[in-house]
């Protein structure tokens, strides 16, 4: 089972004062204003045949933000994983 959004302190609220940090903050604010996108992403992530067992997947919001970050910065999956682990701004 996958949630659209988790109710917890956001990991997307810390941004560096660098130009990239400002761009990421603007993107985050835009996404916060367009919650309708979460429903679209959540529907794409849910498969009818998946049972509600095991660990929950990433919330739709995190999947959307990671996908946008990967495409915007033109990262490989390995580079995305590194930046998410290494940089508070990317988280």
Q: What is the pLDDT of residue 14?
A: 60
Radius of gyration, CA atoms only, the chain: 14
Per-residue pLDDT averaged across 66-81, rounded? 93
Structure tokens, 44: 């794409």
Tell me the pLDDT tens digit for each residue of 31-63.
989 989 999 999 988 876 667 777 878 889 999
The answer to whether the CB of 28 falls within 8 A of the CB of 88 is no
């Amino acid at each position: 089972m996958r949630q659209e959004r988790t109710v917890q302190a956001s990991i997307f609220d810390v941004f560096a004062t660098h130009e990239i940090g400002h761009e990421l903050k603007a993107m985050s604010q835009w996404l916060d204003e367009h919650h309708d996108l979460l429903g679209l992403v959540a529907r794409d992530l849910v498969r009818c045949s998946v049972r509600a067992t095991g660990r929950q997947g990433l919330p739709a919001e995190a999947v959307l933000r990671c996908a946008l970050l990967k495409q915007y910065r033109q990262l490989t999956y390995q580079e995305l994983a590194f930046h998410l682990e290494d940089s508070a701004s990317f988280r």
